[in-house]
Amino acid sequence: MDKKLDAKIKQILQENDDIVVPRNISKGIDETLKSLSNKV
Amino acid sequence: MDEIKLVRKSKKGNNLAFSTLIKIYEKDLYKVAIAMTKNEEDALDCIQEAILQSYISIKDLRQEEYFKTWLIKILINKCNALLKKNKKIMNLDMEITILQSYISIKDLRQEEYFKTWLIKILINKCNALLKKNKKIMNLDMEITEDLKIEESYKLDLKESINNLDSDLKIIVILYYYEDMSIKDISESLNIPQGTIKSRLSRARKKSINNLDSDLKIIVILYYYEDMSIKDISESLNIPQGTIKSRLSRARKKLKEILSINEEVL
């Protein structure tokens, strides 16, 4: 029962996942990755 | 290219492969970090630290298929460390507040308003700290065991208050728990009375719909990040039994919220 319910919850949550990564977070991540690339 | 290949390339020092992997999981990283830290600045700090840590340690990752779980675990550790640090700052500030109130109590004229006076000192301290750090403070510790709330509806409210935005949370705490008037809250926070009233109304509506934060992080890790109960338990340092019971509570609430009928299952 729980397994079926979990699968259904997961399906609905993931289908309706409308979280958007804010621009400043995405930019901060890009900067970190850029600094790592420049290190080597 | 599949993710395992990207992990293998990253282990060999391929920066482009590593960056591609991180961008694939950018949303997952954000979701977990924001649920734990509750503010974007701290979330970004933790994500950046987790990226650096994973970049350094990826060569030691043995099970390449578990890269995502491994990355999320690193992030959770970073968030836990930050929360611990913030709590220490908060505790220190509380001590300073108590000391300040001890020094200035001789100037208190209306003894019957001691509590309001003390809270005003605390708010000033918090405002100074916020200004200094430019960070949103986690006010969860305001709502702890010391609040003796008997009525069940208040217990529900307590749970949901933890999930409110900090601008709403502080007003709810002052109004409902500290019995401060709208005028006093307005003066203390330097916010117009009209704004206090509208935020109180917003808080009432919002508090009904929110899942409490201890459930929210488990829901994210279990349903979105596909982490096992064992992994969640290890990462959050919470016994597996507690995770199971919280998951069971979350399941019931989600079933209701998502309107899942028995027939669908």
Please tell me the distance from the alpha carbon of residue A25 to that of residue B40, in angstroms, as a whole number.
7
The answer to whether B35 faces chain A, any CB pair under 8 Å, is: no
- 8-state DSSP, B180: -
Say how many Å lie between the first and final Cα of chain B, rounded: 36
B38 contact partners, CB below 8 Å, separation of at least 6: B136, B138, B166, B213
Q: Residue B264: closest CA among chain A residues belongs to which residue?
A: A8
A6–B258: do the CB atoms touch at under 8 Å?
A: no
The residue type found at B19 is: S
The pLDDT value given to residue B139: 41
When pLDDT is averaged across residues B20-47 and rounded to a whole number, the result is 91
The pLDDT value given to residue B255: 74
ipTM, two decimals, is: 0.90
Q: Provide, rounded to the nearest whole percent, the portion of chain B with pLDDT above 90.
A: 23
The pLDDT value given to residue B158: 53
Counting Cα atoms < 13 Å in the Cβ hemisphere of B175 gives 22
Q: Is B227 within 8 Å of B69 (Cβ atoms)? A: yes
When pLDDT is averaged across residues A8-31 and rounded to a whole number, the result is 84
The answer to whether B219 faces chain A, any CB pair under 8 Å, is: yes
Tokens of residue B71, six digits: 């990355």
Contacting B with CB below 8 Å, chain A residues are: 1-2, 4-6, 8-10, 12-14, 17, 19, 21-22, 24-26, 28-29, 32-33, 36-37, 40
Among B69-78, B141-150, B198-207, the range with the most confident prediction by mean pLDDT is B69-78
Res. B198: pLDDT tops 60? yes
Q: Is B48 within 8 Å of A29 (Cβ atoms)? A: yes
Tokens of residue A27, six digits: 């930019």
Please tell me the distance from the alpha carbon of residue B116 to that of residue B99, in angstroms, as a whole number.
17
Q: Which of A17, A6, A9 is nearest to B28 (CA)?
A: A17
| Residue B6 CB burial class (10 angstroms; 0-12, 13-18, ≥19) | buried
- 8-state DSSP, B143: S
Res. B34: pLDDT tops 80? yes
The pLDDT value given to residue B244: 92
pTM (two decimals): 0.61
pLDDT band at A40 (very low <50, low <70, confident <90, very high): low
* b/e per residue B71-88 (b: at least 16 CB within 10 A): bbbbbbbbbeebbeebee
The pLDDT value given to residue B256: 66
Q: How wide is the angle at C-alpha B221 spanned by C-alphas B215 and B222, nearest 5°?
A: 85
| Residue B197 CB burial class (10 angstroms; 0-12, 13-18, ≥19) | middle
Q: Is B226 left (phi over 0), alpha (psi -120 to 50) or beta?
A: left
Average pLDDT, chain B: 76
